[in-house]
Amino acid sequence: MTQHKVALVKYEKPLESVARAVELCGGLERIPAGAKVFIKPNIVFWTRQVPFPKWGTITTSRVIEDMVRLLKDHGAGQITIGEGMVLGKADDKQTAPHAFETLGYNKLKQRYGVQVIDAFQRPFEEVDLGDGMALSFNQDILQSDFVVDVPVMKTHAQTVVSLALKNLKGMIDVKSRKRCHSADPERNLFHWLARLADRLPPVLAVLDGIFTSEYGPAFDGIMHRSNLLVASWDLLSADLVGSNLLGQDPAQVPYLALAAQRRGRPLDLSDVEVLGERVEDLARPHAWSFAYTEDGSLPLPMANKGIKGISYYKYDTSLCTYCSSMNGVVLQAVASAWRGEPWEDVEVLTGKMMQPSGRAKKTILMGKCMYQAHKDNPAIQEMIPIKGCPPQPEQVLKALHQAGIMTDPAFFANLEAMPGFFMRRYKDKPEFDESLFRVE
Task: Note the pLDDT of residue 1.
Answer: 63
For residue 219, is pLDDT > 90?
Answer: no
Task: Note the pLDDT of residue 21.
Answer: 98
CB 199 within 8 A of CB 127: yes
Average model confidence (pLDDT) across the chain: 94
- Cβ neighbors of 291 (< 8 A, separation 6 or more) are 299, 300, 301
CA 82 – CA 363 distance, rounded (Å):
41
For residue 419, is pLDDT > 90?
Answer: no
CB 16 within 8 A of CB 58: no
The pLDDT of 400-412, averaged and rounded, is 92
If pLDDT is split at 50, 70 and 90, which confidence band does 18 have?
A: very high
For residue 155, is pLDDT > 90?
Answer: yes
Distances (CA, A) of 268 to 232, 237, 248, 249: 17, 10, 12, 9
Q: What percent of the chain stands above pLDDT 70?
A: 99
Q: Is 301 helix (H, G, I), strand (E, B) or coil?
A: helix
If pLDDT is split at 50, 70 and 90, which confidence band does 52 have?
A: low
**CA 432 from chain center: how many Å?**
20
Angle of CA points 351, 356, 359, to nearest 5°: 150
**CA nearest neighbour of 194 among 288, 270, 259:** 259
- Cβ neighbors of 419 (< 8 A, separation 6 or more) are 45, 47, 50, 52, 53, 219
Q: Does 398 or 325 have the greater pLDDT score?
A: 398
Task: Note the pLDDT of residue 420.
Answer: 80
For residue 178, is pLDDT > 80?
Answer: yes
Angle of CA points 387, 302, 377, to nearest 5°: 35
pTM for this entry: 0.94
Asked which of 104-113, 128-137, 213-222, 345-354 is least confident by mean pLDDT, the reply is 213-222
Strands 146-149 and 160-162: unpaired
| Crossing angle between the packed helical segments 235-245 and 254-263, to the nearest 10 degrees | 150
Secondary element (H or E) of residue 223 = strand 222-232
For residue 8, is pLDDT > 80?
Answer: yes
Cα separation of the two ends of the chain: 45
- Cβ neighbors of 21 (< 8 A, separation 6 or more) are 7, 8, 9, 206, 229, 230, 231, 276
| Strand ranges (E), 313-414 | 346-349, 362-366, 383-386
For residue 53, is pLDDT > 70?
Answer: no
CA 107 – CA 123 distance, rounded (Å):
25
If pLDDT is split at 50, 70 and 90, which confidence band does 391 have?
A: confident
Asked which of 128-132, 234-238, 293-297, 328-332 is least confident by mean pLDDT, the reply is 328-332
The pLDDT of 398-427, averaged and rounded, is 87
CB neighbours of residue 57 within 10 Å: 26
Provide the sign of the torsion angle of the four alpha carbons 259, 246, 204, 111, taken in this order.
positive
Asked which of 109-123, 193-207, 399-413 is least confident by mean pLDDT, the reply is 399-413
- 10 Å CB burial of residue 128 (0-12, 13-18, 19+) is exposed
pLDDT in tens, 325-361: 788 889 989 999 999 999 999 999 999 999 999 999 9
